[in-house]
């Protein structure tokens, strides 16, 4: 059921709100991955942290766009929500401790980065106007780079999975 607030909002506001929620989730996911890799592969942990920082930058730009578009008010507590709320791994270890586990998490991160790229492509196709179109174009370029970085990590893995040959490599958001 749609709330009265969302029913009264325009498509630009709805898209911005969806993108803000999406980017916040992406940031949390990358922070969590950085923590999980820290003891096993510190260089990959730092890369995941860098991707989380890029998410924070996109999140800030999306919030600014929403404020400009709707005069929305964001309280400080919104952007300081806990990054790790109830992590349940269902019998899995939290920290990476095997090559197979590390590669599986990287493979999943790459898949989710592609899914995120496709989501932004859909939003950009829906809203290609003015400043918002430029913002989404910039984000698409960043998301494409994110996919390429994760792909490079996958291909440089010591025992890369044979399934990589079948992986779709359309990392460009244009």
Residue 65, Cβ density class (10 Å: 0-12 exposed, 13-18 middle, ≥19 buried): buried
For the entire predicted model, the pTM comes to 0.80
Would 123 be classed as within a structural domain?
A: yes
Residues in the chain: 174
pLDDT value at residue 1: 38
Instruction: Look at 14 and 164; give whichever has higher pLDDT.
Output: 14
CATH of the domain at 110: 1.20.1260.10
pLDDT tens digit sequence for 117-153? 999 999 999 887 777 889 999 999 999 999 999 999 9
pLDDT tens digit sequence for 73-119? 665 545 544 554 555 555 577 899 999 999 999 999 999 999 999 99
Would 68 be classed as within a structural domain?
A: yes
Would 108 be classed as within a structural domain?
A: yes
Would 88 be classed as within a structural domain?
A: no
**C-beta neighbour count of 52 within 10 angstroms:** 20
Going through the chain in order, the beta strands assigned E by DSSP cover none
Domain that holds residue 120: 10-81+95-166
DSSP 31: H
Looking at the structure of the chain, the number of domains it has is 1
Would 172 be classed as within a structural domain?
A: no
Distance of alpha carbon 48 from alpha carbon 34, whole angstroms: 5
């Amino acid at each position: 059921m749609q709330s009265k607030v969302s029913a009264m909002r325009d498509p630009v506001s709805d898209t911005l709100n969806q993108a803000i929620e999406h980017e916040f989730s992406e940031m949390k996911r990358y922070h969590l991955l950085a923590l999980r890799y820290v003891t096993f592969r510190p260089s990959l942990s730092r890369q995941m942290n860098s991707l989380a920082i890029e998410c924070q930058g996109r999140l800030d730009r999306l919030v600014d766009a929403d404020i400009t578009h709707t005069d929305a008010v964001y309280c400080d507590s919104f952007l300081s929500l806990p990054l790790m709320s109830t992590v349940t791994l269902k019998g899995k270890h939290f920290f990476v401790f095997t090559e197979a586990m590390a590669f599986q998490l990287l493979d999943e991160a790459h898949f989710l980065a592609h899914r995120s790229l496709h989501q932004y492509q859909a939003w950009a196709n829906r809203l290609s106007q003015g400043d918002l179109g430029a913002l989404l174009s910039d984000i698409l370029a960043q998301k494409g780079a994110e996919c390429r970085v994760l792909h490079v990590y996958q291909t440089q893995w010591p025992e890369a999975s044979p399934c990589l040959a079948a992986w779709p490599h359309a990392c460009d958001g244009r």
